[in-house]
Amino acid sequence: MASLPLPTVPSHSQLSLRRKLIGKPPHISYRVTCNADNVEKTPQQPKLDRRNLLLNISGLYGAANLIPPHAPPASATPISSPDLSTCAQGTNLNTQQPLDVNCCPPFSDKIIDYKLPHAAHLRLRPAAHLATEEYIAKYEKATELMKALPDDDPRSFMQQANVHCAYCNLTYDQTGDPSEKLQIHNCWHFYPWHRWYLYFYERILGKLIDDPTFAIPFWNWDNPDGMAIPAMFVKENSPLNDERRSQTHLPPSPADLLYSSTAKTDPNIIIPTNLTEMYGEMVRNVSNVEDFYGAKYVVGTAPDPGPGTVERGSHTALHVWVGDPRSPAGEDMGNFYSTARDPIFYSLHANVDRLWSVWRGLRGSKPKEFKEADWLNASFVFYDENAQLVRVRVKDTLEDVKMGFSYQKVELPWLDKRPKARVRRSKIASKASGVSNVFPVKLDKVVRVLVERPKTKRSGKEKEEEEELLVIEGIEVDTAKFVRFEVFVNDEDDEPGEVKDRAEYAGGYSQVPHKNSSKVKSKIRLGLTELLEDLDVEDDDKILVSLVPRAGGEDITIGGVKIIYV
């Protein structure tokens, strides 16, 4: 049975810190939660006081509208902020017992619609490997203060870490469809949700040290100079350090952005491979908005409909690469429920967030985001730096500067890493042997498929207008396990190896382990237009697709492979 989140008695210094923060303690009530197998919900009745209703109707409230927490969403379909009273404790995926923490946030029945404040100062997020001693001291101080906050303060380090657990380990029902769970990963909310999460984390830290310009650092893992875990995170006795990390991946090892069970160790392979991967995630594979952000996810959609390139690629690899293989579920970084207990999490994600801004900047006149109201109006809730529960929307996340932060400008060393054109590989498809066409198929070995191309010899204009996409669908995985597979086109090798500078590499799929509710069905789309040019096979009416398991293949099933034009 779950343990109760007992309010702890704050120490004197914690109390004075709290007073410094907000003047008086936030009004938070506690409730009993329950384990996921025996969900016994304890709905809290909203206080519909007349004042709130009037404010709501008149709209005269200026910066904030007090809204009852159970108000129906403005539109029926976008994901809307979870009802905190439906939060259920997550499950430890190894033991199937409740997690050792209850990651539900403290309950509050006052939610304010958040308005971006006018940003008087820009918070400039520095590259962690370039940060000054003075900056590092400041960040350490702020983190130490956050760790000293009482456990029941929604701004404490543990509560902040639990925010990730609550939104990512299926502890909330979807508001509007209690038969489906809320999961903000592996779908189009990955970037906006994490942007909000970091936003409040950063503001809480800034408030603790009284610095409205304080900005969190980003781990510049897409640049060879920044690929190792930044030094500030491995200093002994630093509040930024975490014991639970893979001991073989400490500096100076460069992060492996295609990390899998067959680990590479040679930096001369890892670094150029990383750059090929980043080029794929940021340029080659993301002609369409959906391929960068991830698949549509609205009320009624089952979790994990499909991750975007960075999420399923470098981002997932980093989580698992940093996590400690000695821990039962790869804690801290290697599992969604525990990942944000490692301070490096926020810097990993600051770089993901930075790449979002960079990608938008590279788009020129092409669409930079979804125009659908189902995306723009989706909402989430967070506690802000004043311990006030606020409702935020996706549409407010589009410009980092409007949110009051930006990133130190650094090189983009992957930008010109288009793999070299190779000799023509035409007719490889017709010579292929060991080809399978029976789906669903288990990926316990390399699976090779001949795939029909409905259109060949496409003109420059056609290619401009429509991207040719290889769709791998019905990907069924056990969400509790780390899995990874890679996709190659017209590769002559029976078991394609190195990705480095390999034009045949079309991309991959991997996922960070999280609560095992049921098997999920996901899909990915891989851009083919540039790849087919590089292989000089644009006239061929078939391509040979190799699906290569790299981790947990026995736990991956593929439902089908096809080509579409979007």
Closest CA to 142 of 238, 237, 13: 238
Name the active-site residue from 164, 189, 249, 514.
164
27 is catalytic: no
Which amino acid does the sequence have at 540?
D
Name the active-site residue from 107, 129, 157, 185.
185
Nearest-approach distance from CB 547 to ligand C2O, in angstroms: 25
Nearer to ligand C2O among residue 2 and residue 161 (C-beta): 161
Task: Scan residues 130-169 and list those touching ligand C2O (CB under 6 A).
Answer: 164, 168
Task: Scan residues 495-534 and list those touching ligand C2O (CB under 6 A).
Answer: none
Confirm or deny that 70 is annotated as ligand binding: no
Question: How far apart are alpha carbons 473 and 491 in whole angstroms?
Answer: 21
164 is catalytic: yes
Kindly write down the DSSP assignment for every residue of 116-140, as one continuous string: PPP-SS-EEEPBGGG--HHHHHHHH
Nearer to ligand C2O among residue 167 and residue 485 (C-beta): 167
Nearest-approach distance from CB 542 to ligand C2O, in angstroms: 37
Confirm or deny that 249 is annotated as ligand binding: no
Confirm or deny that 194 is annotated as ligand binding: yes
Confirm or deny that 514 is annotated as ligand binding: no
C-alpha dihedral, 328 to 331 to 335 to 339, nearest 10° = 160
Nearer to ligand C2O among residue 293 and residue 505 (C-beta): 293
Contact 342, 164 (CB under 8 A): no
Nearest-approach distance from CB 172 to ligand C2O, in angstroms: 14
Name the active-site residue from 190, 292, 336, 488.
336
185 is catalytic: yes
Kindly write down the DSSP assignment for every residue of 180-193, as one continuous string: EE---SSSTTHHHH
Task: Scan residues 182-241 and list those touching ligand C2O (CB under 6 A).
Answer: 185, 194
Q: Which residue has the tokens 């040290």?
A: 209
Name the active-site residue from 129, 189, 194, 249.
194
Task: Scan residues 233-292 and list those touching ligand C2O (CB under 6 A).
Answer: none
Nearer to ligand C2O among residue 163 and residue 449 (C-beta): 163
**Apex 7 CA angle, 178 and 193, nearest 5:** 40
Give, rounded to a whole angstrom, the gap between the first and last alpha carbons of the chain.
49
189 is catalytic: no
Task: Scan residues 323-342 and list those touching ligand C2O (CB under 6 A).
Answer: 339
Beta-carbon contacts of residue 40 (< 8 Å; ≥ 6 apart): 34
Question: How far apart are alpha carbons 442 and 498 in whole angstroms?
Answer: 23
Kindly write down the DSSP assignment for every residue of 451-464, as one continuous string: EE-S--S--HHHHH
Task: Give me the 168-187 binding string for ligand C2O, x by CB under 6 A, dash otherwise.
Answer: x----------------x--
Nearest-approach distance from CB 357 to ligand C2O, in angstroms: 17
Largest CA distance in the chain: 76
| Dihedral (CA of 166, 168, 172, 174) sign | positive
Name the active-site residue from 189, 249, 349, 514.
349
List helix spans (H) across 324-406. 344-362, 373-376
Nearest-approach distance from CB 387 to ligand C2O, in angstroms: 22
70 is catalytic: no
Which amino acid does the sequence have at 469?
L
Burial class (CB in 10 A: 0-12, 13-18, 19+), 264: middle
Q: Is 354 in the site for ligand C2O (CB under 6 A)?
A: no
Nearer to ligand C2O among residue 201 and residue 488 (C-beta): 201
Q: For 413, phi and psi rounded to 5 degrees?
A: -70, -10
Nearer to ligand C2O among residue 167 and residue 405 (C-beta): 167
Nearest-approach distance from CB 44 to ligand C2O, in angstroms: 27
Nearer to ligand C2O among residue 189 and residue 523 (C-beta): 189
Task: Scan residues 430-489 and list those touching ligand C2O (CB under 6 A).
Answer: none
Nearer to ligand C2O among residue 194 and residue 417 (C-beta): 194
Nearest-approach distance from CB 315 to ligand C2O, in angstroms: 6
Question: How far apart are alpha carbons 443 and 435 in whole angstroms?
Answer: 14
Nearest-approach distance from CB 342 to ligand C2O, in angstroms: 11
Name the active-site residue from 129, 189, 249, 319.
319
Q: Is 315 in the site for ligand C2O (CB under 6 A)?
A: yes
315 is catalytic: yes
Question: How far apart are alpha carbons 104 and 99 in whole angstroms?
Answer: 11
Select from 155, 319, 417, 425 the one that contacts ligand C2O (CB under 6 A): 319
Residues in contact with ligand C2O, counted by CB under 6 A, come to a total of 8
Task: Scan residues 375-404 and list those touching ligand C2O (CB under 6 A).
Answer: none
Question: How far apart are alpha carbons 563 and 471 in whole angstroms?
Answer: 6
Contact 198, 205 (CB under 8 A): no
Question: How far apart are alpha carbons 193 and 319 in whole angstroms?
Answer: 17
Q: What share of the chain is helix, strand, coil (3-state, %, to 5)?
A: 30, 15, 50
Q: Is 344 in the site for ligand C2O (CB under 6 A)?
A: no
Can you say whether residue 153 is alpha, beta or left, with left for phi > 0 and alpha for psi between -120 and 50 degrees?
A: beta
Report the catalytic residues: 164, 185, 194, 315, 319, 336, 349
Q: Residues annotated in the binding site for Cu cation, as ranges?
A: 164, 185, 194, 315, 319, 349
Q: Residues annotated in the binding site, as ranges?
A: 164, 185, 194, 315, 319, 349
Binding site for ligand C2O (CB under 6 A): 164, 168, 185, 194, 315, 319, 339, 349
